Amino acid sequence: MKNRKEISYMDSVHRDGTIWNLIVMVILLAFPVVVGLIFQASPDWAGVGEGLIATAPMYWAVGVIETITFIPMLGAGGSYLSFVTGNISNLKLPCAVNALENWNVKAQSEEGEIVSTIAIAVSSIVTTVIIILGVILIVPLSALIEGNETIQPAFDQLLPALFGALGVVFISKNWKISIAPIALMLILFVFVPAINTSTVGIMVPVGVVFTLVMSRILYKKGLL
């Protein structure tokens, strides 16, 4: 009976996830089409082709690598929801991993599927609420924020502070594993200027693979 429930639940996850991902894809693609029809404008297809040739292969590679990397950590339900709402590596993945560790469950288990999906759903709702509040409050606060040299340095450090806090949580659990990937990323970003905001996304799966390899080596040598 338990196996039937697990199969039924997973079947529903894949069914609903596939349906909603297809719906979102249609909506995203329909928006520029509808806008073009309303304003009777069409893109420069030659320019679109040149842009796709230059950028599409990179995003295809990132998409394949992220799918292989993230799904084992997010579970099926969490993956469907994350790839619809976006911002996986910066927000959804840390929330899901933290929730799974607090409940001491694996993403591949039924309990882990539920915990991961709830964590990502709550994260998406909180993010949406914060964005709405930010849009509402930005008008009265813009006069205080724009051009204020006193508080501007604080805004420049928001992302470093966020990732620093997340890093402390994970690094403190096993600092030996963190040494190699931190050193690799520092070397790459300092000595390879070509790595910028447009290509940094591929560094996440690269870092994951490198960390797994180094962790295996440390484990074989009895250092973990």
* Rounded average pLDDT over 183-195: 81
Read off the pLDDT of residues 61-74 as tens digits, 9 standing for 90 and up: 778 878 888 888 89
Give per-residue pLDDT as tens, 138-178: 777 777 777 677 777 777 787 778 777 777 777 877 888 88
* Average pLDDT, integer, range 205-223: 86
Nearest to 90 by CA among 161, 162, 154, 177: 162
What are 74-95's pLDDT values in tens digits? 999 999 999 888 888 778 888 8
Q: How many Cβ atoms from other residues are within 10 Å of residue 113's Cβ?
A: 23
Q: How confident is the model at residue 1 (pLDDT cuts 50, 70, 90)?
A: very low
Q: Are 180 and 207 spatial neighbours (Cβ–Cβ below 8 Å)?
A: no
